[in-house]
Amino acid sequence: MRADGGEARALTAAPGGVSAYAWSPDSARIAFVSQDARSADQTAAQDRRDDAEVFEGPFRPRHLWLIAAAGDAPASRLTEGSTFTVDADEPSSSPDGTRLAFGAGVTPMLRDERHDVHALDVAARTKAAISTNGGRDGEPRWSPDGRWIAWIEDPNTATPLADGTLPGQVNQSHLVLYDVEARRVRSAASPSFDLQPRTPFWSHDSRTVLFTAGRRAYADAFAYDVGAGTYTQLTTDRTLQIGSLAGNGRVVAVTMDTPRAPSDVFVTGPDFGAFRKVSDANPQASAFALGETEVVTWKSPDGTEVEGVLLKPLGFQAGQRYPTLVVAHGGPAGAYTNNYRVGGLEGGQVWAGEGWAVFYPNPRGSTNYGERFLRANVDDWGGGDFKDIMSGIDALVARGVTDADKVALIGWSYGGYMTAWSITQTTRFKAAMVGAGLTNLWSMYGTNDIPNVLDGYFGGIAGPERLPAYMERSAMTRIDKVTTPTLVLHGGSDQRVPIGQGQELFRGLKDRGVPTELVLYPREGHGISEYYHLKDRLTRIHDWITRYTTGGGGKTTSRH
């Protein structure tokens, strides 16, 4: 569609859809990524339900295509190969439009870390890998002067498994530069910058790489000076993501939210000095009554400083104690930021409006606090991280915010793991919700699509020598200790954390007389996306937690 108006027109009709695209510098062509179509025989077999599937292959890879923006010629295919699949990320063109940089892997399996950055000659249709890291490399961006390509690497030096894939390793991503003329990779990792950079963007003069990174309870903008090899923080206490640069790099478009306003588009200069709002995607939000947020810190029993976000009840009064909902984050390499909390898993501001405090802890193992903190729960799931969360609750009780007799815990994915584990360790929670949670790490390893994550955290693949480590930190090993009424929610088609994990927890609680309910959401994977399922999840969590914590609750959960 023309930027100055008019009707949109379809440019492609790729059977495999378009997962990413990029304009050529002269705006004459568009490179795009599309999954290979099924053959006629495969389509016919699928239509008659002759559709037996081989687990983990064969795959329909993604490939790179090129089409004229005028639409006067069919798309041409740029890459080939059944053991070569292009990443579903935006490719990047050289300034003269003759070459493309893109990420690609051996298979599309999420557990397969063998992804490299490739450079392709558009005219010759020849490509070559230019990254040298054993792990995942991706999101390449060509500099405006054509001299450099910047990308993000996940370092991995592990010995490959029997099928050629790599065991997981827990470490931070790094910014990498590639000297195009010298054909040499240069790492931009530095002890002075202990955070994880996200998608890189180049300044118009090719002297600086701009990016965002999680920093404690925020996501700020940073710059890397290519010549000096130094990092500079450009913003403080923002939660933003860079979208694009225009006007020869003089205008930067970002999305940004705050604790009091949902995400919108803003424009700023390359120094990120002032922001001008240019969208109002949710005007109705200006009428919402919102609780205040506060970034809080406390000391864990071993002296580790831990941070989190406290959402206070609407009309909060110091000295008054409130029922408190604790929300454990997923990952475990994730982190809560001090941002807008109306949607999501729990709809935090809904609870604040009903007189609850909501606590979002970032225990050890979280990102945004450096590599040492990130790796602090390796071989220690449910150890130091559990103590971090519990001591955070203690700190809120000591401060006079939390009513110690009215505390509930919920979480999704690793947050579900932490919830399931916590109710085997303590009886302080009046109610719990385990969402898509890992409950038996031994069976989890053999049934999920990212077993290398457990491998990386527990020092090896599941086998006799590692059985004690896997079972020692599984909630099912201590299921007989649970007395907390627990709601279990799970996507019916979840491959990340298969439904057996929720079923095991439910059966263990049900047979022991602990109030529990298992709800499966058909068609949903590891995340929930359908409208009625999202609505049900919010309502069901609310009813379960309030019923057993404060005596409230609605009609969506069964009486026990």
Q: pLDDT class for 554, splitting at 50, 70, 90? A: low
Phi, psi of 74 (to 5 degrees): -70, 160
Residue 142's pLDDT is: 97
- Using the predicted structure, report yes or no on whether residue 120 has a pLDDT greater than 50: yes
Phi, psi of 342 (to 5 degrees): -110, -35
Q: Are 211 and 201 in contact (CB under 8 A)?
A: yes
The strand pair at 516-521 and 486-491 is best described as: parallel
Q: Are 117 and 180 in contact (CB under 8 A)?
A: no
Residue 559's pLDDT is: 43
Dihedral over Cα of 479, 480, 481, 482: its sign: positive
Residue 373's pLDDT is: 97
Look over the chain and give the mean of its residue pLDDT values, rounded to a whole number. 95
Residue 91's pLDDT is: 97
Peptide bond connecting 485 to the previous residue in cis, omega within 30 degrees of 0: no
Neighbours of 424 (CB within 10 A): 19
C-alpha 149: how far from its chain's center? 25
Beta strands in 331-485 (DSSP E): 357-362, 402-412, 431-435
Length of the chain: 560
Between 462 and 366, the more confident residue is 366
Nearest Cα to Cα of residue 479 among 512, 528, 517, 502: 512
Over the stretch 338-357, which tens digit does the pLDDT of each residue have?
999 998 899 999 999 999 99
Mean pLDDT of the region 180-192: 95
Over the stretch 353-377, which tens digit does the pLDDT of each residue have?
999 999 999 999 999 999 999 999 9
The fraction of the chain above a pLDDT of 90, given in percent, is 92
Residue 560's pLDDT is: 38
Q: pLDDT class for 393, splitting at 50, 70, 90? A: very high
Mean pLDDT of the region 151-174: 94
The fraction of the chain above a pLDDT of 70, given in percent, is 99
Q: Are 413 and 459 in contact (CB under 8 A)?
A: no
Q: Are 270 and 288 in contact (CB under 8 A)?
A: no
How far is it, in rounded angstroms, from Cα 199 to Cα 510? 46
Q: Going by C-beta distance under 8 Å and a sequence separation of 6 or more, which residues neighbour residue 365?
A: 331, 332, 333, 373, 374, 375, 376, 377, 381, 385
Lookup: tokens for 323: 């029922």
Mean pLDDT of the region 526-540: 97
Mean pLDDT of the region 435-451: 96
Over the stretch 476-489, which tens digit does the pLDDT of each residue have?
999 999 999 999 99
Nearest Cα to Cα of residue 557 among 501, 485, 498, 467: 485
Over the stretch 208-258, which tens digit does the pLDDT of each residue have?
999 999 999 999 999 999 999 999 999 999 999 999 998 787 899 999 999
How far is it, in rounded angstroms, from Cα 11 to Cα 73? 10
- Using the predicted structure, report yes or no on whether residue 57 has a pLDDT greater than 90: no
How far is it, in rounded angstroms, from Cα 71 to Cα 113? 36
Sequence letter at residue 277: K
State pTM to two decimals.
Answer: 0.94
Residue 362's pLDDT is: 98
Nearest Cα to Cα of residue 36 among 16, 58, 54, 51: 16
